[in-house]
Structure 1
Amino acid sequence: MPPKMKLLTSQEVATLLKKSVLWVRREIRSGRLKAVKVGREWRVLEKDLALFLGLDTDISVPTNQPSKEENHA
């Protein structure tokens, strides 16, 4: 079962970022912040907010550590 994705309101995003709700809505309207409309309100997935902030932790970053085979050579 996939993990539950938390949806944040524009107000919650504004509070977290210490910005105005108007600023959040502008970012959504411009397409810089991905959001979905639920009824009359916009909602932002936590993962989309993390991507917007450059905090994506879901991407696997290869390490430069040598493999076990290289250590024995």
Structure 2
Amino acid sequence: MSVDTSAMHQPLYDPAVDGAYVPPLDIVLDCAREELEKYATANIHNHHEMLVAAVSHHDRLRQLVAALDKEAGR
């Protein structure tokens, strides 16, 4: 017997809900560096720590790409 989990799915990013504000590139780069330092010692065997780091990195990467696109005029 399988369980249908599609109704429980929530995406990491939803353009209809998430804001459209794009911080300046220099701020996003500083934040990305701080985040890399923050999670550098996370325990790879700890599921919760890895999940928190992955979601945080996903959000930061999305901001970084948006800031680069904005600076390039895309």
TM-score by length of 2: 0.28
Q: Which one has a larger percent helix, Structure 1 or Structure 2?
A: 2
Q: Which one has a larger percent strand, Structure 1 or Structure 2?
A: 1
TM-score by length of 1: 0.28
Greater RCO (CA < 8 Å, at least 6 residues apart): 2
